[in-house]
Amino acid sequence: MLVAGTLDRTQWSELDDEDFAGEVRDRLATVGLELVGASGKWLARPEHAPTDDTDGFEPAFALNTVELAVIAALYLHLRYLPRNADGEENGEEPSVAVEELLRAFPGYSARFISQIVVGHLRNAGFVRRENDRLYAGPYLAALNEIEADERSQAALGNFQLRRYLKQRAAELEDDHASG
């Protein structure tokens, strides 16, 4: 079941038993998978993300650059922002409008992002779509949050810093031009 989909934690209390879960982990480990509990689900994922430069190995289902970029955008909206922004915690499950996601990829057609890429990621368990809103899927929740948050924080901090400095440079230009 774990290599064919995800399991609801409420329906699989056996996996909360350490002995049972340990045996499942051992069995999954023999095929390079690990057991992860995330977002109310049990799921199996590869212990190491396959890379393109693995000699002689061509993963049948690999995430391409655009899919990874969409995952990053979804992570920032659905996982990072609720934890790091004031006033974002309102008790509801974090979600983002499809239109909001499309803004991040102006160079791509809306159909490609919203149908093909998001559809692929939905099948892969990274995102859930209800009407025109996107919710975090179990595989998005299963990302290593410490590492992902550190990278996000560094990138966002750098972006904000430079935006702030550019704004200050413009202010200084204006001040001295008018003065």
Residue 8 sits in the site that holds another protein (CB under 8 A): yes
Minimum distance between the CB of residue 19 and another protein, rounded to whole angstroms? 23
Nearer to another protein, 66 or 116 (CB): 66
Residue 155 sits in the site that holds another protein (CB under 8 A): yes
User: In the range 61-100, which residues lie near another protein by CB under 8 A?
Assistant: 61-63, 65-66, 68-69, 71-73, 75-77, 80-81, 84-86, 88, 100
Residue 168 sits in the site that holds another protein (CB under 8 A): yes
Give the count of beta carbons closer than 10 Å to the beta carbon of residue 21.
16
Burial track 111-136 (b if 16+ CB lie within 10 A, e otherwise): eebbeebbebbeeebbbbbeeebbbb
Close Cβ partners of 40 (under 8 Å, ≥ 6 residues apart): 8, 9, 10, 138
CA dist 78 and 137 (Å) reads: 10
Binder to another protein among 118, 126, 134, 136 (CB under 8 A)? 126
Binder to another protein among 4, 30, 130, 131 (CB under 8 A)? 4
CA dist 158 and 166 (Å) reads: 12
User: In the range 131-150, which residues lie near another protein by CB under 8 A?
Assistant: 139, 143-144, 147-148
CA dist 20 and 27 (Å) reads: 11
Residue 112 sits in the site that holds another protein (CB under 8 A): no
**Total residues found in the chain within this entry:** 179
Residue 116 sits in the site that holds another protein (CB under 8 A): no
